[in-house]
Amino acid sequence: MQRTVLAFQRNGHLSTLQVGVTAVRTIASLEEADRGLFKQAKDDDHVVVTDSTVFHPQGGGQPSDQGTMEAESGDKFDVQMVRTAVTRQDEVLHFGRFSNAIFQPGQKVMQTIDVEKRLLYSRYHTAGHVLGAAVRHLLEAKIDGFDETKASHFPDSASCEFLGSIEGKWKEAIQEKLDAYIDKDMPVEIDWWDEQDFKDNGLERLIPDRQAMGMADGENFRVVKIIGAETYPCGGTHVDSTRLCGKTVVKKISRSKGTSRVSYNLP
């Protein structure tokens, strides 16, 4: 099975894309690990695999896109969730339900994402990176053992986690730094780096695990550059500048077992 091309990673402004159907499967026919990705699914629901996709699969802390696929015949597939297969990491599974006839392999269909949800998720994702950059620049030299670990950019649970104990007294200073970065309207750019690029920029700590990501030798890593702040390896979708995140509010700082979580939302 050929790799699903992630078209949105090269052009984040795409909202529609004509693609070819490579496979259609019922949920019941999936291997157990892949069935587990869609806990709300019924056995007679389907996943559609295409040669390319405009849909962002859930991952990297970002929810999946939703939308539709439609054939020229009018047959439609309602895309409710998108995930990268566990059993084939280069295959993207679009889960949902057909409204009438089922697509056939080789058929051309038009993918259309829910643009409002894509924009919301992109704003949250970029805001999370800006928050991470703000906390790093403010506290890296002040917190023992500081480092960024992971983040969630889901609207109902958005947060960034850090090694080290960040006390509540830093909340106001973090908000001020975050506001300054957003108001500065810093460009957000996509680039493609190899291991040497990370080393040349003093970011060896961020070099991803090529094998774990299922990437071929010589294939470059996608990075998101917040110009004037930070660079992150990232496969998600983003807005074009920090100002487009909109007002981002630091909700609270919580601590547990040497880890601190800074939660945020976009009112």
Please say which residue of 113, 140, 160 terminates a domain.
Answer: 113
- Percent of the chain surpassing pLDDT 70: 100
- Mean predicted confidence (pLDDT) in 87-102: 93
pLDDT in tens, 216-250: 888 899 999 999 999 999 999 999 999 999 999 99
Say whether both 97 and 146 belong to one domain: no
Other CB atoms closer than 10 Å to residue 71's CB: what's the count?
Answer: 17
The label of the residue with tokens 């080393």 reads: 199
Closest by Cα among 221, 228, 258 to 243: 228
The two structure tokens encoding residue 156 = 């109902």
Q: Is the pLDDT of residue 211 over 90?
A: no
Say whether both 101 and 122 belong to one domain: no
- Mean predicted confidence (pLDDT) in 104-110: 97
The label of the residue with tokens 């992630």 reads: 6
Q: Is the pLDDT of residue 212 over 80?
A: no
Local confidence band at 21 (pLDDT 50, 70, 90 cut-offs): very high
Bridge-based pairing of strands 67-71 and 108-113 is antiparallel
Beta bridge partners of 225: 189, 231
Q: Is the pLDDT of residue 213 over 80?
A: no
* Burial 219-231, CB ≥16 within 10 A → b, else e: eebbbbbbeebbb
Say whether both 147 and 228 belong to one domain: yes
Say whether both 95 and 225 belong to one domain: no
pLDDT in tens, 55-83: 999 999 999 999 999 999 999 999 999 99
CATH number of 93's domain: 2.40.30.130
The two structure tokens encoding residue 153 = 């950019």
How many domains does the chain fold into?
2
- Mean predicted confidence (pLDDT) in 12-38: 96
Instruction: Look at residue 217 in the predicted model and tell me its pLDDT.
Output: 84
Q: Which range of residues forms the domain containing residue 185? A: 118-265
Question: What are the φ/ψ torsions at residue 170 (nearest 5 degrees)?
Answer: -85, -5
Say whether both 124 and 101 belong to one domain: no
Say whether both 138 and 105 belong to one domain: no
- Mean predicted confidence (pLDDT) in 111-124: 98
Q: Indicate the average pLDDT of the chain.
A: 95
Closest by Cα among 152, 127, 166, 132 to 249: 127
Q: Is the pLDDT of residue 266 over 90?
A: yes
Q: 3-state class of 206 per DSSP?
A: helix
pLDDT in tens, 153-187: 999 999 999 999 999 999 999 999 999 999 999 99
